[in-house]
Amino acid sequence: MAASNIPVDPHAPAWQWDVFCRVIDNWGDAGVCLRLCRQLVAHGHRVRLWVDDPTPLGFMQGSAAGPAGLQVRHWLPTLPAAQLQQVFADAPPQVWVEAFGCEIATEFVASYAHLLGGSGQLDLKHWPTWINLEYLSAEAVVLRLHGLPSPISSGPAAGVHKRFFYPGFVAGTGGLLREADLADRQARFDPTAWRRAHGLPEASAGSGGGHAFVASLFCYEPAVLPNWLQALQLAPQASRLCVTAGRSHQAVRAALALAPNALLPARVGHLQIKALPLLSQADYDHLLWACDLNLVRGEDSLVRALWAGQPFIWQIYPQHDKAHHAKLAAFLDWLEAPPGLRQAHGVWNGLQHGPMPHLTGPTGKALLAQWRDCAQQARARLLAQPDLMSQLCMVIKRWRMDAGIAP
């Protein structure tokens, strides 16, 4: 099915965006913001990305330099008012995006209000369209809250409205981030060549030929991980596990009872372990496209797993109040996950007891084929919807016109 993108209007206004991000959970928030900023720049906008820890943006972009039109600025705990006023005076913002409730600091608001006339009557027509970009969820509440205004009643921005923008999986939400060339890049990708280049050889003829079971691991610390790794070690068929850097490395070390900084072994029983370095966003896509199963976590990698169209198991970010239980259930309902996939999600997320399903051998291949069909049907439904960046630009244009602001 062809991807559904809102056509790009060559006469559409090019805005100056300020996107604000605080790095919370191992760079996932920064990854989402970087994807959004790069897509905006690719469509002619100018973007300042304010991030409290710019370090991860380097490896996320890989060898490619940041695109022209994107400025990365270090969001320090305090910034001089004169400096902020100069930034805004040089390139007045038309859009502010607070990513994931990070809240724009008071000095930004006060500095821009000062440029608009200080303590006098605030000229709302020159205030940026203020977006609160929320976390991704399949819960029904998203449909009720998406697009709602939130008035600011006090302070230098009194009278301004923020607007909630919720990513989502269904029509009536903000959709998901998707680059315009994603399908073309995936169609040109050769998974067999990728596996060979990364030392993941094909299975022996005695095991039925083809390539051995290959999985990617991007996780927190699932309690079932030690048992699952042991099952892969003892399985009669060979399997390969590509372990992403960071917490995933540490989780595998702990599961194998290794010292915290020990090198991961290349092989344990019938399990071959590939310890990966930090990956760029493009390289992470390649990993997902090349694997038979992707174990993903958080928000950004879930979206990339959906676009990959390969079987996946999602480890949702755990919350102390157990709110993630309902969020995971809502997602699996939308996914129309078959019973085996639902059970695997429950076990991987610690919501139910039991072993992970066996995914090697003929039985495992049949199960993975069922999960792949589920993933590809879900991807087809998503491709029929407009992408997040296109929807965001469309609604901002409408909100600005409704407020009497030039598009």
Q: Where are the domains of the chain?
A: 16-170+386-402, 182-383
What is the phi-psi region of residue 106: left when phi exceeds 0, alpha when psi lies from -120 to 50, beta otherwise?
A: alpha
Most confident of the ranges 1-5, 117-121, 237-241: 237-241
Do 16-170+386-402 and 182-383 have matching folds?
yes
pLDDT tier at 65, thresholds 50, 70, 90: low
Per-residue confidence (pLDDT) for residue 19, from 0 to 100? 97
For the question of whether the overall pTM of this predicted structure is more than 0.75, the answer is yes
Catalytic one of 134, 179, 285, 299: 299
CA nearest 293: which of 251, 253, 348? 348
Q: Is the pLDDT of residue 230 over 90?
A: yes
Read off the amino acid at residue 218: F
Q: Is the pLDDT of residue 5 over 70?
A: no
How far apart (Å, rounded) are the C-alpha atoms in residues 329 and 140?
12
| Tokens coding 35 | 């994807």
Q: Is 202 among the catalytic positions? A: no
Q: Is the pLDDT of residue 405 over 50?
A: yes
How far apart (Å, rounded) are the C-alpha atoms in residues 132 and 150?
9
CA nearest 3: which of 390, 393, 288? 390
Average pLDDT over residues 111-134: 78
Q: Which residues contact 51 (CB under 8 A, 6 or more apart)?
A: 20, 21, 22, 23, 30, 33, 57, 72, 73, 74, 75
pLDDT digits (tens, 9 = 90+) for 261-286: 999 999 999 999 999 999 999 999 99
Per-residue confidence (pLDDT) for residue 103, from 0 to 100? 87
Q: Which residues contact 182 (CB under 8 A, 6 or more apart)?
A: 3, 307
Per-residue confidence (pLDDT) for residue 204, from 0 to 100? 46
Q: Is the pLDDT of residue 205 over 70?
A: no
pLDDT tier at 2, thresholds 50, 70, 90: very low
Higher pLDDT, 288 or 200: 288
The CATH code of the domain at 16-170+386-402 is 3.40.50.2000
Positive or negative, the CA dihedral 272, 277, 278, 284 is: negative
> To which residue do tokens 């291949």 refer?
365
Architecture of domain 182-383: 3-Layer(aba) Sandwich (3.40)
Q: Is 190 among the catalytic positions? A: no
Please give the sequence-ordered ranges of beta strands (E in DSSP) within 104-236, or none if there are none.
129-133, 149-151, 161-165, 213-217
- pLDDT, averaged across the chain: 90
Catalytic one of 18, 29, 98, 292: 29
Q: Is the pLDDT of residue 121 over 60?
A: no
Per-residue confidence (pLDDT) for residue 70, from 0 to 100? 95
